[in-house]
Amino acid sequence: MQPIKWNAQGLVPAIVQDANTHQVLMLAYMNEESLQRTLETGETWFWSRSRGELWHKGATSGNTQRVVEVRYDCDADTLLVRVEPAGPACH
């Protein structure tokens, strides 16, 4: 297993895809902590670049994303997070 290549800010882009329809739902960024929380809880967590803090997708809207699978691309600098969404990804 290849280690993830974090950028200079300690982030990696995460493309979120509906596991059933294959529709791309969103692009967000993860740091090590948000990826760890995602893997531990089975729901998506991201790093908000604008607010400078972790955010749990759906914490306020209820539109959570249950993680089915997390993969990375061939050079390990982008994540693909396949989810079953409970509502829309955009707000």
- pTM exceeds 0.85: yes
pLDDT at 2: 75
Which residues of the chain are modeled with pLDDT < 50? none
Report the distance separating Cα 75 and Cα 58, nearest Å: 30
Report the distance separating Cα 81 and Cα 43, nearest Å: 10
pLDDT at 91: 55
